[in-house]
Amino acid sequence: MKITTFNPQIITKNAEPLVKLFEELGFEKRHRQENIGEKGITGIRMKDAEGFYVDISQSDAPIPNDMVSIRMNVDNFEEAYDLLTAHGFKNYYGDQSVNAKTSKSAIMISPSGYVINLIHHIK
């Protein structure tokens, strides 16, 4: 398994104030995807002049507060998923993943509570 992207991600119910903040910090919107996997998720990818990325995901999921996670894109979803579950991670969606035309993902929560958004881009 190869990791192809590794950067911070914020999962929130209201993305616009966060987008504005990161724009003021020098980040620019690079990509925006609506209704990912038909689950009401909006993904916004931002990048600054130094090449740093931050992702902001707006979700209708019942989260009490914003969540900070690590976005980890991999070339083999199943291998990474199995590795994380072997280390005690639980999938927020149970046994399901978020499947879109261009990606497959799962929010993986560690035993101590940190989150990895595991993503595989389909080419």
Chain segment 26-44, per-residue pLDDT in tens: 999 998 887 766 667 788 9
> Beta strand 98-99 with 103-109: parallel, antiparallel or unpaired?
antiparallel
Q: What would the two tokens of residue 22 be?
A: 């990161």
* Beta strands in 24-66, from DSSP E residues, in sequence order: 28-36, 41-47, 53-58
Chain segment 45-69, per-residue pLDDT in tens: 999 999 999 999 998 877 889 999 9
So what's the pLDDT on residue 31?
Answer: 84
Closest CA to 67 of 119, 6, 115, 14: 115
Q: What would the two tokens of residue 63 be?
A: 């989260």
